[in-house]
Amino acid sequence: MKLFCSLPSPFARKVRAVAAEKGLDLELVEVDVFQTDNGVDRLNPLRKVPCLLADDGEAWFDSRVIVEYLDGLPGGPRLIPEDRDACLQVKRIEALADGMLDAGVLVRMERLWPGRSAEQRSAAWQDWQWTKVDGALAELQARLGGRAYFVGDRLSLADLAVASALGWLDYRLPDHPWRPQVPALAAWYADFARRPRFAATAPPPLPAG
């Protein structure tokens, strides 16, 4: 299987973390999504990554669909419970994590939009996105409730989705001090980030300066 992706992407990291826990081999194909002919355009009409090219030639996207596809393959523990209620709880946590990322990405885009000076950037827009991020963080801490896992008593997609999102906040938006407002969630992440399989999916270091 080939995963077309950008290594810094938290959505790609979630997929890679699921594959690692399942013991599945993925061939990573790094792409520049801003190039018109990068291979993804022939697989996903939205031209977005991550995009999985399965062994049977079928292309799957986005990350939420990919992880469900991978979890249904033979081998490794199930990360999305078969029980309906537990499955919905896992998917709700994933939605919180992904939604928090969507808001964070909008902040980053506002800051980096080409040709826009600092004075032209909307502080109100960024504040609105930060409200979503902070709200998601508070909800995640409340739902964790001091436990080791978000849903049930073992690892699930929910944990991998949240950890991937928190790692991205540190990686791309380090100026936002999220830990003081959710100390229990921060402690959980500090422990979870040391898991060898998850740590192996960390994005490459940013260039100095």
pLDDT per residue over 173-196, tens digit each?
999 999 999 999 999 999 999 999
Residue 102: asked if its preceding bond is cis (omega within 30°), the reply is no
Spelled out in words, what is the top-level CATH class assigned to the domain 2-71?
alpha beta
pLDDT of residue 36: 76
Sign of CA dihedral 155, 72, 88, 13: positive
- Report residue 51 CA to chain centroid gap: 14
DSSP per-residue string spanning 147-178 = -SSSSTTS--HHHHHHHHHHHHHHHH-TTS--
DSSP 8-class letter at 180? G
Residues of the chain with CATH 3.40.30.10: 2-71
pLDDT confidence of residue 50: 98
Sign for the CA dihedral angle at 153, 155, 157, 163 comes to: positive
CATH architecture of 84-199: Up-down Bundle (1.20)
58 vs 81: CA distance, rounded Å: 24
Residue carrying the six token digits 């500090």: 190
For residue 39, the model assigns a pLDDT of: 86
Whole-number pLDDT of residue 58: 98
State the pLDDT at residue 51: 98
pLDDT digits (tens, 9 = 90+) for 15-29: 999 999 999 999 999
pLDDT the model gives residue 209:
58
Name the residue with tokens 């800051």: 111
Full-model pTM: 0.95
Q: In terms of DSSP H, where are the helices of the chain?
A: 10-22, 63-71, 84-112, 123-144, 157-172, 183-192, 196-199
pLDDT at 18 (0 to 100): 99
Q: Going from the first residue of the chain to its last (209 residues), give the mean pLDDT of each consecutive group of 10, the final group possibly shorter.
A: 97 99 97 84 93 98 98 96 98 99 96 79 93 99 98 98 99 96 99 98 86
